[in-house]
Amino acid sequence: MFGISRQAYYKRQQKLAQLEEERDVILNLIRPIRKKMYRVGTIKLYDMIKQDMSNNNIKLGRDKLFSFLRQEKMLVKKKKNYTKTTNSFHRFRKHKNLIKGLEVTAPEQVWVSDITYIKTEAGHEYLSLITDYYSKKIVGYHLADNLKTESTIKALEMAIKSRKYPERFLIHHSDRGFQYCSDDYIAILTKNNIRPSMTEEYDPYENAIAERVNGILKDEFDIAEGFINHVQAVKEIKYVIETYNTTKFYLLLF
């Protein structure tokens, strides 16, 4: 009646059924990743699932994935928030940048450190992080409701305790915040034969890996949304860091 052959009609129905099946496969690939990393972007998401899509004979490029996510209302909106956590105007000695131009070829050759703020309903808390430059794994962390040196020391002590190659020459790189320049912090580095290295300018690229890890935890794992209280924040951040360190996808986030 409508000028469409029976053959064309059933071919169209088969195509629709195939598209619906592919949609279900793609969603099943995306959902477990988004459950762990709620805000992971489309480009990284594509890299994570492209092999599995290929294994399922699904031909979907990065641009088409973007359209797919928009259609499914799964696109991530970018947020811009900033809270200053570095105070470099202090009496302590500031050390030279030892990693500028350095080729990092193994774990425990360079650690990078930084502090990022975490929102709770009671106010801001501060997460001290130490990341292995080569492996990109977080080796030490501590959450506190203050910016005292003692909080960063706890993250450092965790990192030192987790070392697998204690005999290896190691550089600790950070910004010039008073926490990292303090006598107590430097004393622990010296005691463990770890050389301090610091940014010399206010350029975030001088500590790019540490900044990137902060961004991954906040954007991809969505800890920037904040928590009810300190207890919940500690529990969730522990889970997020363990997930980050163990997922096979985390290197794709860089």
Residue 90: inside a domain: no
The answer as to whether 96 is a domain residue is no
Neighbours of 159 (CB within 10 A): 24
pLDDT at 90: 47
Q: Does the pLDDT at position 41 exceed 90?
A: no
Q: How far is CA 249 from the centre of its chain?
A: 11
Instruction: Give the β-pairing of 123-132 and 194-198.
Output: unpaired
The whole-number pLDDT of residue 50 equals 83
Q: Are 116 and 203 contained in the same domain?
A: yes
**What is the pLDDT averaged over residues 207-232?**
86
Mean pLDDT across 113-129: 92
Residue 31 within any structural domain of the chain: yes
pLDDT at 180: 93
Domain of residue 240: give its range: 110-253
Please indicate whether residue 59 or residue 185 has the higher confidence score (pLDDT).
185
State residue 159's pLDDT score.
97
**Is residue 99 one of the residues assigned to a domain?**
no
Choosing from 71, 95, 124, the residue where a domain stops is: 71
Kindly report the average pLDDT of the chain as a whole number. 82
pLDDT tens track for 50-72: 888 888 888 877 777 777 777 77
| pLDDT for position 205 | 76
Q: Which two tokens stand for residue 138?
A: 């977080």
Name the amino acid, one letter, at 74. Answer: M
Cβ(98)–Cβ(104) under 8 Å? no
Predicted confidence at residue 17, as pLDDT, reads 62
- 34 and 137 part of one domain: no
Residues 60, 124, single domain; the answer is no
> Percent of the chain, pLDDT > 70?
78
Does residue 217 carry a pLDDT above 90?
Answer: no
Q: Are residues 160 and 232 in the same domain?
A: yes
pLDDT, tens digit (0-9, with 9 covering 90-100), for 4-40: 666 655 555 565 566 677 888 888 888 887 777 766 7
Q: Are residues 34 and 119 in the same domain?
A: no
Q: Using CA atoms, how far apart are residues 158 and 245, in angstroms rounded to an integer?
A: 15
Give the end of a domain, one of 41, 71, 101: 71
Residues 123, 190: one domain? yes
Whole-prediction pTM: 0.67
Task: Domain count for the chain, please give it.
Answer: 2
pLDDT of residue 254: 59
State the number of CA atoms in the 13 A half-sphere of 207 facing the CB. 30
Residue 116 to residue 127: CA distance in whole angstroms: 5
Instruction: Report the CATH number at residue 139.
Output: 3.30.420.10
What tens digit of pLDDT does each residue of 238-247 get?
A: 999 998 898 7
Residue 164 and residue 50 in one domain: no
132-152 pLDDT, tens digit per residue, is 999 999 999 999 999 899 999
86 within some domain: no
* pLDDT at site 60: 79
Q: How far is CA 90 from CA 28, 53, 86, 96, in A?
A: 52, 54, 11, 16
What is the structure's pLDDT at 92? 64
Question: Residue 127: pLDDT band by 50, 70, 90 thresholds?
Answer: very high
Quick one: pLDDT at residue 81?
Answer: 53
| Within a domain: 60 | yes
Question: Is the same domain home to 138 and 48?
Answer: no
* 123 & 51 share domain: no
Are 189 and 123 found together in one domain?
yes
Residue 75 is predicted with a pLDDT of 66
Is residue 189 assigned to a domain? Answer: yes
Higher-scoring residue by pLDDT: 70, 128: 128
